Amino acid sequence: MAGDLTDPMGPNALREERSKVEFDVEAMKVVWAGGVEEKNIQDRIKTLVANDPVFDKKSRPGLDHKTLVKLSMKKAAHAFKLFQEQNMTEHEATLVRYYVDEPGFADLHWGMFIPAIKGQGTEEQQKKWLPLAQKMSIIGCYAQTELGHGSNVQGLETEAVFDPSADEFVLHSPSLTSTKWWPGGLGKASTHAVVYARLITDGKDYGVHAFIAQIRSLEDHHPLPGVTVGDIGVKFSNGGYNTMDNGLLRFDHVRIPRENLLMRLATVTKEGKYVKSGYPKQLGYGAMVSVRAHIINDASDFLSRAVTIATRYSAVRRQFGGGDGKPEIQVIDYKSQQSRLFPILASSYAFRFVGEWMTTLYDDVMARLQVNDFTTLPEVHACTAGLKSICTSYTAKSIEECRILCGGHGYLCSSGLPELYGAYVPSCTYEGDNTILLFQVARYLIKSLSQVGGGKNPTGTAAYLGNIRRLATENCRVKQGAEWLNYQTVLEAFQARAARLSGACALKLNKAPDLEAAFEEYSTDMGEAAQAHCQVIIVDKFAEKMKSEFPGKGTKDILEVLFFVYSLDLITRHAAEFLSTGYLTSEQLALAKDQLRACFRKVRPNAVGLVDAFGHTDHYLGSILGRYDGDVYPNLYKAAWEEPLNDTVVAEGYEPYLRPILKHQLRQSKL
Ligand SMILES: CCCCCCCCCCCCCCCC(=O)SCCNC(=O)CCNC(=O)[C@H](O)C(C)(C)COP(=O)(O)OP(=O)(O)OC[C@H]1O[C@@H](n2cnc3c(N)ncnc32)[C@H](O)[C@@H]1OP(=O)(O)O
Ligand SMILES: Cc1cc2nc3c(=O)[nH]c(=O)nc-3n(C[C@H](O)[C@H](O)[C@H](O)COP(=O)(O)OP(=O)(O)OC[C@H]3O[C@@H](n4cnc5c(N)ncnc54)[C@H](O)[C@@H]3O)c2cc1C
C-alpha cells in the first residue's frame, strides 16, 4: 500500500520464531545470569540504566571525541551519585557501569588503579589511599605503557630516583620514548596515577616498580608543576573507544614522598637501602591478571550482543525465493548463514561458562595470596593470559562477522555493530597484545612438559600433559558419525592435538643450543600450541558445566547441542592441525562435519530463543536490527530522518560549493 510506513513482517517473524522454541527461555536466562538471585539483580540494574535519560547513547556515533569524553564524565558522575543514593553494593555499582556500556575513566579508576593499590600497597598504604579512591575524592589511572614500550614492561624508561636528603623520589621522563602513552583516564580526568618507573637508589637500577603520583591539582584540576599531561587523540572509529580519554604524561623532576612507592614487594629505607619483602615479583603484575580475568568474562557479553543482533535480524531479513503468495526465504534458513552464525552463538555460551570458571580460579588464587600461598599463580597467569588472548581475538573477529551477516544494514551505525566493534577491538591489544600473551602460555606449556620429563605430573589445566605418551600415540577411534557426539571423545581430540603440538615444540627446543633463539625461531608453532591448549580449557570447562543440573525444560538438551557446535566447529576450522598431528583421518573429519551440520538443524528452531535468553535490553543492544520486537524497517526509516544531515532540505554545502559549479556548468552548456 503506497504511503504505508508500517511493516508487520519483522514482528511476525520473531513472534513465529519464539513460538517454535523448544526449551524454557526463562530458565536459560537464569543459567546465563549465573543463578536466580543474580538474574534478579541484573534485571533490576539493567532496567534502571535503560530508563535513565542521562544514560542515553543513541546519538553517540555522531559525536566528536571532545563531546564524548565530556558526556562520559557526566554519566560517570551520575552513576556515582546513584551508587551513593541507593547505597549500592560494589557488585551492583559494577553492573551499573556495565549496562551504561561505554568505556570511560571510571573503568581504570575502579578496574586498575584501586586493584593495583590493593595488590601492591602495604596495609598502611591501602588504609591511606583506598578510602580516598573509593569516595572518588581522588581519581586514578594506571600509567604503565610508554611511547616506546608497552609489551616489554622491563624496557620502561621513566625514572624514580631516590633522594635520601629529602626522603623523596624524583620522577623524571628522560626521553621522548619514556612519555607515558595510552593510559585510560589519564588524558583529562585523573588526579592521580599508579606510575610504573625504574627504581634507582644509591646509583643502582632495581627495575620497574609502581608509585603513586599526583598529577593534577585537587583544587582546580590543573597539572602540578613539572607535569605535562593531555589526551593522545581520536581513536579508530566514531563512538567506540572515543568516550575514553587515553592520555600522555611526562615528568620533569617531579618529587613524590618515599611512601608513595607501593611497598608490598619491596621498600626503600630512609637511608636509601633497597629491601625486598620476600613476595614474588610476579605479584607486581597482579592488576593485569585481575583485568585479564575480567576481560575473559566480558568476551561472552560482547559476543552475545553481536550475535543477538545478527540472529534476530537474520530471522527478520528475507532474500530470494518466495512467489505464489509465499514470502521470501528468511536468511537464517540458508545453511551458509547458519554455519557462520551458530558457532558464534555457541561460543557465547562456551565463553560464558569458561568465564564463570575463571572467576572461581581467580577468587581461589586471591584467597591463597592472602595466606602467602603462591603455588597456583603461574597457572592463573597462563590461564588469564591465554584465555584473554583467544577469547578477545575470536570475539573481535566475530563481531565483524556479525556485521557482515547483516548485509548492508549492518554497516549503518544504527545497527549497533560498528560501535560495538570499535569499542571491543582494542581488547586484542590492551592488557597485553594477544600474540605476546600466547607466548606466555607456550612458556608455561614447555615448563609443564619438562616436569613430565622429570617424572612429575603437571596439575590443573595442564594435567592432561601428564598423559602425553598415550595422547601422542593413540589416534582417534571414531568410525561412525554419531560417535562424535560424546564429551570424552571430543575432549580427547583437543587434548591429543594440544599435547602433540606442544610436544613437537618441546622437542625442537630440546635440540636447540640457544633456547631463547629457538623460542623465537619456532614462535609461530608455539603460538599454535598455546592456542590449542586454551581451547582444551574451554572445551573441558563446557563439558564440566554439562555435568551440572539445569533448571527448566529442554535447557540441558539445547546446551548439549551447543557444546557440539562449539567443539566440532573448532575441529573443522583447525582441521590442518588435527590432521597433520596424525590424530584424525580425513574420513573422521568428514564425519565430524556431518555431525556439525546435523547440530545446526537442531539449533535452527531455537536460535532466537537462545539469544533472547541473554536477556539484553534494547537500550543495551543499541541496535535497530536487533530490536526485541523485530520492527526493523519502520525504525530504520525513522532513524534516517533523525540524521542531522536531513535537518535542512538543502545541504549547507550547496550555496558555497555546489551552486557555483552547477551554475557554471549551466552557463557552459547553455541549457
Ligand atoms: C564496565 C564495568 C567493569 C569494569 C571493570 C574493570 C575493567 C578495567 C577495564 C580495562 C580497560 C582496559 C585497560 C587496559 C590497561 C592496559 O593495557 S595496562 C598495560 C597492560 N600491559 C601489558 O599487559 C603488557 C604486556 N606485557 C607483559 O605482561 C609482560 O611484560 C610480559 C610479556 C609477561 C613479559 O614479562 P617479563 O617480566 O619481561 O618477562 P618474563 O620473563 O616473561 O616474566 C617473568 C616471570 O613473570 C611471570 N609473569 C609474567 N606476567 C605475569 C603475570 N601477569 N602474573 C603472574 N606472573 C607473571 C612469567 O611467567 C615469568 O615467570 P617465571 O618463568 O620467571 O617463573
Ligand atoms: C585502547 C587502549 C587502551 C589502553 N589503556 C592502557 C592503560 O590504561 N594503561 C597502560 O599502561 N596501557 C594502556 N594501553 C597500552 C597497551 O597495554 C599496550 O598497547 C599493549 O600492551 C601492547 O603493547 P605495545 O603497544 O607496546 O605493542 P608492541 O609490543 O609494540 O606490539 C606491536 C607488534 O609487535 C609484536 N611483538 C612485540 N613484541 C614481540 C615479540 N617479542 N615477539 C613477537 N612479536 C612481538 C606484537 O605482537 C604486535 O604485533 C592501552 C592500549 C589501548 C590500545
All domains in the chain, ordered by first residue: 123-276 (2.40.110.10), 286-612 (1.20.140.10)
- Of 157, 379, 419, 431, the active-site residue reads 431
Residue 282 Cβ inside 6 Å of ligand 1? The answer reads yes
Best CA proximity match to 344, nearest among 404, 256, 388: 404
* 547-582 pLDDT tens trace: 999 999 999 999 999 999 999 999 999 999 999 999
Residue 382 Cβ inside 6 Å of ligand 1? The answer reads no
* 463-474 pLDDT tens trace: 999 999 999 999
Per-residue model confidence (pLDDT) at position 2: 57
Residue 377 CA: nearest ligand 1 atom is 55
What are the Cα distances from residue 611, in Å, to 43, 601, 627? 16, 16, 12
pTM attached to this predicted model:
0.97
| Residue 177 assigned ligand-binding role | no
502, 533 Cβ separation under 8 angstroms: yes
Work out the pLDDT band at 1, boundaries 50, 70, 90: very low
What ipTM was assigned to the predicted interfaces of this complex? 0.97
Residue 392 Cβ inside 6 Å of ligand 1? The answer reads no
Instruction: Indicate which residue's Cα is closest to atom 50 of ligand 1.
Output: 285
- Residue 82 neighbours by CB distance under 10 Å: 19
317, 307 Cβ separation under 8 angstroms: no
In the reported structure, the alpha carbon of residue 382 is separated from the centroid of ligand 1 by a whole-number distance in angstroms of 10
Query: Does the pLDDT value for residue 31 go beyond 90?
Result: yes
Of all ligands present, the nearest one to the C-alpha of 444 is 1
Catalytic site residue 431? Answer: yes
Residue type, 455: G
b/e burial code for range 159-191 (CB count within 10 A of at least 16 → b): bbbbeeeeebbbbbbeeeebbbbbbbbbbbbbb
- Residue 480 neighbours by CB distance under 10 Å: 8
Residue 195, helix vs strand vs coil = strand
| Ligand 2 pocket residues where CB is under 6 Å | 108, 142-145, 149-151, 182-184, 241, 246, 426, 429-430, 432-433, 435-436
- As given in the structure block, the three cell numbers for residue 69 are 569524553
Could you say which DSSP state residue 152 is in? -
What are all long-range contacts of 588-592, with beta carbons under 8 Å and residues at least 24 apart?
A: 588/476, 588/478, 591/478, 591/480, 591/481, 591/483, 591/484, 592/478, 592/481, 592/484, 592/568
Any idea which of 9-13, 67-71, 175-179, 282-286 has the lowest mean pLDDT?
282-286
Best CA proximity match to 298, nearest among 152, 443, 430, 157: 430
* 229-256 pLDDT tens trace: 999 999 997 778 999 999 999 999 999 9
349, 559 Cβ separation under 8 angstroms: yes
b/e burial code for range 520-543 (CB count within 10 A of at least 16 → b): eebeeebbbbbbbbbbbbbbbbbb
Q: At what angle do helices 335-370 and 523-545 cross, to 10 degrees?
A: 90
| Residue 184 assigned ligand-binding role | yes
Residue type, 416: G
Mutate to test the pocket of ligand 2, among 142, 145, 146, 516 (most ligand atoms within 8 A of CB): 145
Of all ligands present, the nearest one to the C-alpha of 240 is 2
* 608-644 pLDDT tens trace: 999 999 999 999 999 999 999 999 999 999 999 999 9
Give the integer Cα–Cα distance in Å for 661 and 105. Answer: 47
Instruction: Indicate which residue's Cα is closest to atom 33 of ligand 1.
Output: 440
Per-residue model confidence (pLDDT) at position 670: 61
Q: Which residue is listed with cell 598455546?
A: 530
